[in-house]
Amino acid sequence: MLSRLPQGALKNAARNVNASRSAVRARFASTTSGSSSAFQTFLNSRAALASATLATVGSVAWYAHLYGSLPFFPEVHANSPAEEGLHPPQYPWSHKGLLDSFDHASIRRGYQVYREVCAACHSLDRIAWRNLVGVSHTADEVKVMAEEVEYEDGPNDQGEMFQRPGKLSDYMPPPYPNEEAARSSNGGALPPDLSLIVKARHGGPDYIFALLTGYTEPPAGFEIRDGMNYNAYFPGNAISMARVLFDGLVEYEDGTSATTSQMAKDVVTFLNWAAEPEHDERKKAGLKAVILFSALTAISLYVKRYKWSYIKSRKIRKCCLVD
């Protein structure tokens, strides 16, 4: 099966020899030989075509990535770029690298910030008390925290609903009974559930950190309605949530000084954990997968070369192939 390849090649070569023997000089290249023609041959080659295409596509993609639009296609926007929200800077999160786990002390502080500040307005529907066990708190601590909250349960054997203290299996209590209550307490704006907010926003943790720490006075000429607040990172720049984090707002049990940016960092780390509780295991499994698959790739490359070495080093005797 494989012997066909060199066989065909040899036939071609044989034909070449025959052709040059006859008076007509047959040329199998599109150009004459010579130093300039090497360049010509390159120009006509597929490699040249492929690399020119690659260079074109690459530079257009690079331009689009850098400037956000295609070159030579001017666009008109009613908004200024600032109104779509300033891009957040990239922060050096402790869990940013491919092999970096969450900083669990930060998750613990972040939970405290969520509980003491954000929980007044934002629910955290998808996190149950039990999820904190072994992540930021011990089981005994979480049991005590859950018991402080009353949950409705039932019906009992008289068919009535009753109140009971929370258990590990209960989910985090919402601040408002329903969306309408949440809106009417917040000037019509719904404070979104924070369970998946880090995944749900472009820029992820960087955006939320920038949002929480990015409140400023509106620039001159920017009209802002009553009850709205200026934030350059929020799309539209006017957000219903006022600045909530101020230096010294909470008191950390581990003695970390509670500056605005420290609290923002901790609460965002906590929310990042809430959105990706599998994060640490995922990165560890990724490390294992990379090691195993690169070993398997190396082995299969070696085996391929080993098996093919016999086929590739055969000698084919010319005498017998020319007919």
Partner 1 sequence: MSIANTFYNVFVKRNSVYVTTIFAGAFAFGVGFDLGVTSFWDRWNQGKQWKDIRHKYVEAESD
Query: Which residue lies nearer to partner 1 by CB, 217 or 254?
Result: 254
CA 106 to chain CA centroid, nearest Å: 21
Query: Which residue lies nearer to partner 1 by CB, 140 or 157?
Result: 140
Specify the 3-state DSSP secondary structure of 268: helix
Contact 221, 274 (CB under 8 A): no
Considering the complex, what minimum distance in angstroms separates the CB of residue 119 from ligand HEC? 8
**In the chain, what is the straight-line distance between the N-terminal and C-terminal CA atoms, in Å?**
19
Which residues pair with residue 165 across a beta bridge? 150
Q: Amino acid identity, residue 64?
A: A
φ, ψ of residue 50 in degrees (nearest 5): -65, -40
Query: How many other β-carbons are positioned within 10 Å of the β-carbon of residue 122?
Result: 23
Does 135 bind partner 1 (CB under 8 A)? Our answer is: yes
Does 187 bind partner 1 (CB under 8 A)? Our answer is: no
Site string for partner 1, 87-126 (x = CB under 8 A): -------x----xxxxxxx--x------------------
Q: Is residue 150 within a helix (H) or strand (E), and if so which, with residue range?
A: strand 150-153
CA dihedral 195, 200, 202, 204 (to 10 degrees): 20
Site string for partner 1, 286-315 (x = CB under 8 A): -xx--xx-----------------------
Considering the complex, what minimum distance in angstroms separates the CB of residue 133 from partner 1? 10
State the residue for tokens 């990165």. 283
Does 212 bind partner 1 (CB under 8 A)? Our answer is: no
Binding site for ligand HEC (CB under 6 A): 113, 117-118, 120-122, 186, 189, 191-192, 197, 201, 208, 211-212, 234, 239-241, 244-245, 267
| Cα gap 58→65, rounded to integer Å | 10
Query: Which residue lies nearer to partner 1 by CB, 11 or 284?
Result: 284
Considering the complex, what minimum distance in angstroms separates the CB of residue 255 from ligand HEC? 21
Select from partner 1, ligand HEC, none the partner in contact with residue 274, using the beta carbon and a kind-dependent cut-off of 5 to 8 Å.
none
Query: Which residue lies nearer to ligand HEC by CB, 132 or 241?
Result: 241
Contact 189, 225 (CB under 8 A): no
Enumerate binding residues for partner 1 (CB under 8 A): 94, 99-105, 108, 134-138, 140-141, 254, 280, 284, 287-288, 291-292
